[in-house]
Amino acid sequence: MLLGALAGVKSAPDGPGGVLSGGVTGALEGSARPPSILRRMRPPETEPTPDPALFDAVVNLCKRRGFVFPSAEIYGGIRSTYDYGPLGALMLRNVREAWWRSMVQERDDIVPIDAAVLTNPKVWEASGHLAAFTDPLVDCRNCKERWRADQIGDTCPNCGSKDLTEARPFNLMFKTFVGPVEESAAAAYLRPETAQGMFVNFLNVLQTTRKRPPFGIAQTGRAFRNEITPGNFVFRTREFEMMEMEYFVPPAEADAWFEYWCAERLSWYARYGIPEAMLRLRQHDASELSHYSAGTADVEFLYPWGWGELEGIANRTDFDLRAHSEHSGTKLEYFDQTTGEHYMPYVIEPAAGLTRTMMALLLAAYDTDVVAGEDRTVLRLHPRIAPYAVAVLPLSKKETLTPLAREILHTLQRRFVCDYDETQAIGRRYRRQDEIGTPMCVTVDFDSLEDQAATLRDRDSTEQVRVPIADLADTIAHRLDPDLAV
């Protein structure tokens, strides 16, 4: 009931928060509190078994087909740093776009910003990152590897030595210098999260958009953390991209909005192709909570090595607005004209990793089957997430077919990201597209010259239908996402 009421918020005629400020607040105070999504999202009784072979298969495919390359490979790379290749860049853009669509475009209560990576270091003093963004660190005296003390016992996982240093705190922020001469320049830090840019712009956004709580500020962008133990491919890297949203709410509504965002974010992952059995919500216990949090739940994914975080959703209370008010001397409050009250909103934050999400989507989509007696690898990516929406394939390289095929390509390119491939046998070309997740192929053959139609082939069923060339773009749009076809 509670979630049902909350789910209506987006389309509520009285605007964002209309339902919450009225009916749901009432429902919250009622004695018959409905079961929480957090309790409902227990892990399934029978979990799928993690599959380490899947990890190798996906990492291998990423390199072979141009999703992810080791960074600066010709110089021997740099540990746990990756460059995104042609297909990776397209896929990241699609994941970012899908997040943006649901968080910004389809709502009228969330606005975007794009804040600086380098900012005044006082921001990190106020946020607690300078003092508290640390991991306990130990060095192995034998092999010189460095580890997080809370992740290993008393033995070095690399060489087995027990000769470890005492644990000491290690700040995860990258320090740099702003100005031409290092000695006299001011120290600055690469942001370890995008959230603070949204808190310090709270008043700017309020004044320029005339939003009132509950409302959100969203942004995507790179973040940098000097992780001690990066690894598992792009799961944990020192440079990564985040997709974060800070939702400012009246304090009394914070618990309800926390549940709302947990449900909303879980369903986003399911919508874009992660099977329910590989998704769960795990609530942090008190000992795990960050210094700012009154409640945190992780959306977890079943990685090949077991359950791990995909996104963190936290009730950050008024910690950040209060801290920045105190440190800057500027009161970050909201003035409610209807009640005449000044107050500091609470913040619910869904914080997701773009690069980590891409990896989870690839792991969830990887599949093998047999088509016409031949093994194939297929990425069953959501059509909106796949790097290419469609591939145009002329049946032959003959000059008679090329002009029509290229004309179709140019028409489709106005609406979709397309690939074009005229080399090798058509069966091989279908396999190549299946392996990178292209949901549809348009095959142009000699009949096309006569009947002005082409064959549309579906990646998952391999079914082929004949479609008039004039209808191709609309048919493809509908198949990509019936909700969004225009």
- Chain-centre distance of CA 228, in angstroms? 22
Answer yes or no whether residue 135 interacts with ligand ATP by CB under 6 A: no
Contact 171, 130 (CB under 8 A): yes
188 vs 310, beta carbon nearer ligand ATP = 310
Q: How far is the CB of 80 from ligand ATP (least distance, A)?
A: 9
Q: Which is nearer to ligand ATP, 109 or 193 (CB)?
A: 193
The residue from 216, 312, 394, 437 that contacts ligand ATP (CB under 6 A) is 312
Q: Which stretch binds ligand ATP (CB under 6 A): 53-61, 150-158, 303-311, 452-460?
A: 303-311
We find the least distance from the C-beta atom of residue 335 to ligand ATP, in angstroms, to be 31
Taking CB under 6 A as the binding criterion, the range among 248-256, 349-357, 414-422, 462-470 that sits at the site for ligand ATP is 349-357
Single out the residue of 172, 261, 175, 182 nearest to residue 225, CA to CA: 172
Which residues ranging from 66 to 85 are in contact with ligand ATP (CB under 6 A)?
A: none
Is residue 352 within the footprint of ligand ATP (CB under 6 A)? yes
The torsion angles phi and psi of 59, rounded to 5 degrees, stand at -60, -45
Q: Give the Å distances, CA to CA, from 176 to 78, 169, 198, 251.
A: 19, 19, 22, 37
What are the DSSP calls for 209-274, one per residue? H---SSEEEEEEEEEE---SS-BTGGGB-SEEEEEEEEEEE-GGGHHHHHHHHHHHHHHHHHHTT-
Select from 235-243, 257-265, 329-337, 433-441 the region that touches ligand ATP (CB under 6 A). 235-243
Nearer to ligand ATP, 310 or 344 (CB): 310
Pick the piece of the chain touching ligand ATP (CB under 6 A) from 41-49, 120-128, 338-346, 352-360: 352-360
Candidate list 246, 300, 311, 320; residue touching ligand ATP; CB under 6 A: 311
Q: In the complex with ligand ATP, which residue's Cβ is closer, 213 or 353?
A: 353
The Cα 167–Cα 155 span in angstroms is 13
Give 360's Cβ-side CA count (13 Å radius). 29
The minimum distance between CB 239 and ligand ATP, in angstroms, equals 8
Residue 309 interacting with ligand ATP (CB under 6 A): yes
Q: How does DSSP classify residue 117?
A: S
* One residue of 351, 386, 391, 441 binding ligand ATP per CB under 6 A: 351
Among 88, 216, 353, 437, binds ligand ATP (CB under 6 A): 353
Position 21 contacts ligand ATP (CB under 6 A): no
CA atoms within 13 A on the CB side of 381: 31
Are 99 and 352 spatial neighbours (Cβ–Cβ below 8 Å)?
yes
Two structure tokens written together for 158: 């690399």
Q: Which residue, 9 or 228, has its beta carbon nearer to ligand ATP?
A: 228
Q: What share of the chain is helix, strand, coil (3-state, %, to 5)?
A: 35, 25, 35
In angstroms, the CA 23 to CA 34 distance is 14
Pick 323 or 351: Cβ nearer ligand ATP: 351
Q: Considering only residues 228, 242, 347, 472, which one is a binding residue for ligand ATP as defined by CB under 6 A?
A: 242
Query: Applying CB under 6 A, does 237 fall inside the site for ligand ATP?
Result: yes
Q: Is 372 exposed, middle or buried (0-12, 13-18, 19+ CB in 10 A)?
A: exposed
The least CB distance from residue 296 to ligand ATP, in Å, is 8
Binding-site member from 51, 145, 227, 481 for ligand ATP (CB under 6 A): 227
Burial call 90-123: b when 16+ CB within 10 Å, e when fewer: bbbebbbebbbebbbeebebbbbeebeeebebeb
Nearest approach in angstroms of CB 287 to ligand ATP is: 14
Residue range at the interface with ligand ATP (CB under 6 A); choices 28-36, 137-145, 306-314, 474-482:
306-314
Sole window of 23-31, 274-282, 309-317, 446-454 interacting with ligand ATP (rule: CB under 6 A): 309-317
Give Cβ neighbours of residue 236 (< 8 Å, ≥ 6 apart). Answer: 80, 227, 229, 230
Those residues whose C-beta lies under 8 Å from the C-beta of residue 221, and which sit 6 or more positions away, are 114, 115, 117, 194, 241, 242
Q: Is 355 in the site for ligand ATP (CB under 6 A)?
A: yes
Residue nearest to ligand ATP (CB): 353
CB of 67 to ligand ATP, least distance (A): 16
How far apart are the C-alpha atoms of 148 and 151, rounded to whole Å? 5
Closest-CA residue to 193 (of 124, 120, 262) = 124
Shortest distance, CB of residue 73 to ligand ATP, whole angstroms?
20
Q: Does 346 bind ligand ATP (CB under 6 A)?
A: no
Chain residues that interact with ligand ATP, rule: CB under 6 A: 193, 225, 227, 236-237, 240, 242, 309-312, 351-353, 355-356
